[in-house]
Structure 1
Amino acid sequence: MIEKRVYRKIAIDVVSVCVLAVPILVFITVMKPYHRGFFCDDESLMHPFKEDTIPTWLLGVIGLGLPIICVLTIEALLTKTNKGVILPKDVLSPKIRPYLERCYDIIRVFIFGTAATQFLTEIGKFSVGRLRPHFFDVCKPNITKCTSTLGYVTDDVCEGTDIKKILHARLSFPSGHASISIFCMVYLMVYLQIRLKIQGADLAKAVLQVVAITLAIFTCLSRISDYKHHWGDVLGGALLGFAVCVLVVWCLSVLVPDVSLQTILLSISGNQMTHYRRTHQESSESQGSEGMDGLTGVAVNN
């Protein structure tokens, strides 16, 4: 019976992620972005084409890999030292099972949030069709057909031969690098704040959080310096990633019991654990043992 519940849960999770992943593939392989026009004297579109400082593959490796590695490592340490949240009795055997289920519950939310962020990003890109700062460099508009006297140009005047680059140059808003990097690193920051407990070494945890957000900010800034996005595209992507992270942790989090939006925002500001311990203690005193039948215990660090 337990195995069936586990397999059913995994199947539902996979289907849920695929519901978001399949449209992303459709956007990338089939759809064409909105054909936005331009002014021939628009200097914001005249920047040179440059290679990515942070290529997409590196964003995926660090953005997805770093949080997952941290979860696997920290949960292993918490399980070994018996400081993690204990799972219900029927899943305590064998010994490795609580660790695997705990990691799965945290990582599945992270993967779903990443897919949701990318899905919303693609909708924005293909719906808005904003031109990248290097659009003219890859479009190579016909000079005779593109003069300032023509005003707003909506016709196809591009003479560039790389059709893929031209289409890609119409996907500036919002920045996918910004949305994904901010989501992944903010999620990692929240996870570290809630789960990583280093007695007498709080600054060590803060250093890890600073490193995480620095990676995200550097990625965002590189998109501007590489002329891949306008600053507004990066800001929009960053806000999108941050908003999805807050909502995902708020609605789906298993990091702490009964997590609230206020708790998440406080964790991002660095004050979450103090607030959680106070509110959890107050709720425990008022509710007594009610609602604790499904847990064998909760580890408490002072």
Structure 2
Amino acid sequence: MALVGRRFYARLFIIYFLDWLVIIATVAFAASTSIWVTPNTRPFSATDLSISFPFQTNSKVPSWLLVLWSIIIPGLAIAFLTLAMPSSTESYKRSFRSATGWKRRLYCLNTALLGLGLSYATALLITNGLKNLLGRPRPDLISRCDIDTARIEDFTIGPGSLLDWRVCKNRAVSGVSNALSESDVRDGFRSFPSGHASLSFAGLTYFAIFLAEFVFALPLPHLSRVTAPISAPLVAPEATSSADSHTAAAPPAALPSRREDRETPLPRFPIMAAILIVGIPIMIAMYIASTRYSDYRHHPFDIFGGAALGIASAVLGWRWYGAWTCASQAEGRVYTFMDKAKGNDDNEKYDGTVMAEEGGAPMGRAGRAV
């Protein structure tokens, strides 16, 4: 049985190692595209007031602070809460007392961080891809460009007096003192979508979902992986009257076989206070996104588009990985197959909702046997 357990853990390690490899490679590739990929440059009008805002040299939220708030702080908080937070469920309580229990917590930590990584990688890849593909001018493009009025006719495109980006004096080849580099001018065509908005909402929305589901056990519609509905009645059914005694009473709803699922779900924390705490990451993401408007880096549509992309990425990361972390609904999958790997030494019996019908093979992602 020990040999089976070692093989299982080796296979599990290889699977998740490959997952991490893909996510890290995706993040590295997506981040590098802002360096070696030349964005499309849409023609622009010198009289367009929407792109005539001043160029700000100092951002309220620089890139390093964005990474800190959107990925590092949520990752550290998830690691602490997953490994150190006590739980009301008996099997998770026992996880402090044995090596196998700590393996279970590490498994939950791995799935939670994989979900965060998938969310961030998805948002970053799509964001940088759209930035380079669409080439929409930023609100401060003309300030970056410093149009060479003597050469406007040479770089006029079509009858609408649109200008090619080469009309800009702020290029390294121009020899103008204190001029922006060519990469700074080209970056003026990376307006849609807002990277600060997409990445902040990707990381912090995922963290908010984690807090709601894992810490406070707030059931979020369409975000929880329910293995068995909780159907225990809150009150006993009323006795039937003698006049209705001929009517057969409806049989009670079948109860889930696991004891912990038969208990009436109660909030772990005052609901309104939990909602306020869960809302803090969202408010931070909203502030980060709003600074891109006040810094004249993005148009409102760019910010809303980036926020929508970030939220969608967070939901994808949670549904694909993170939802397996929640003890109340994914605990059956996590604890059952971990017990299978070590030969059921803890004598924990489950109803088998997360096991394959044939052979008792543990179920994998999306209900597939692993």
User: TM-score surpassing 0.5?
Assistant: yes
**TM-score normalised by the chain length of structure 2:** 0.65
- Quick check: 1:33–1:126 contact (8 Å CA) kept in 2? yes
User: 1-side partners of 2:20 and 2:309: how far apart?
Assistant: 23
Shift of 1:82: 5.7
2:130 pairs with 1:111:
no
2:126 pairs with 1:57:
no
User: 2-side partners of 1:178 and 1:126: how far apart?
Assistant: 17
Which residue pairs with 2:190 in the alignment?
171
Among candidates 173, 184, 188, match of residue 207 of structure 2: 188
1:80-99 residue pairs with structure 2 within 5 A? 80-81=86-87, 83=89, 86=92, 93-99=99-105
Which residue pairs with 1:67 in the alignment?
74
SS state at 2:82 partner:
helix
- Quick check: 1:75–1:84 contact (8 Å CA) kept in 2? no
User: 1-side partners of 2:146 and 2:131: how far apart?
Assistant: 22
User: 1-side partners of 2:165 and 2:205: how far apart?
Assistant: 42
Shift of 1:224: 0.3
Q: Out of 239-248 and 12-21, give the one that drifted further.
A: 12-21
Task: Name the aligned partner's letter for residue 167 of structure 2.
Answer: V
Task: Name the aligned partner's letter for residue 141 of structure 1.
Answer: I
Among candidates 221, 225, 234, match of residue 294 of structure 2: 225
User: 2-side partners of 1:195 and 1:130: how far apart?
Assistant: 40
**TM-score normalised by the chain length of structure 1:** 0.78
User: 2-side partners of 1:231 and 1:169: how far apart?
Assistant: 16
Structure 2 gaps, min length 5: 1-6, 171-178, 217-266, 331-349, 356-361, 364-370
Which residue pairs with 2:313 in the alignment?
244
**Compared with structure 1, are the counterparts of its residues 292 and 37 closer, same or farther at alpha carbon in structure 2 (3 Å cutoff)?**
closer
2:144 pairs with 1:138:
yes
Task: Name the aligned partner's letter for residue 325 of structure 2.
Answer: L
2:83 pairs with 1:76:
yes
- Quick check: 1:40–1:146 contact (8 Å CA) kept in 2? no
SS state at 1:69 partner:
helix
- Quick check: 2:41–2:165 contact (8 Å CA) kept in 1? no
Among candidates 281, 284, 294, match of residue 215 of structure 1: 284
- Quick check: 2:27–2:125 contact (8 Å CA) kept in 1? yes
SS state at 1:67 partner:
helix
Instruction: Provide Cα deviations, 1:81-130, integer angstroms capped at 9, x if missing partner.
Output: 4638759x9xx634432222211111111112101110000111000011
User: 2-side partners of 1:230 and 1:218: how far apart?
Assistant: 15
User: 2-side partners of 1:127 and 1:72: how far apart?
Assistant: 36
Structure 1 gaps, min length 5: 259-287, 296-302
Which residue pairs with 1:254 in the alignment?
324
- Counting aligned pairs with the same residue, the percent is 21
User: 1-side partners of 2:311 and 2:117: how far apart?
Assistant: 15
Which residue pairs with 1:206 in the alignment?
275
Which residue pairs with 1:265 in the alignment?
none
Structure number with greater Rg is: 2
Instruction: Provide Cα deviations, 1:202-261, integer angstroms capped at 9, x if missing partner.
Output: 333222222111101111111001000011110110111111222232233313447xxx
User: 2-side partners of 1:67 and 1:203: how far apart?
Assistant: 22
Task: Name the aligned partner's letter for residue 243 of structure 1.
Answer: A
User: 2-side partners of 1:21 and 1:236: how far apart?
Assistant: 20
User: 2-side partners of 1:46 and 1:85: how far apart?
Assistant: 61
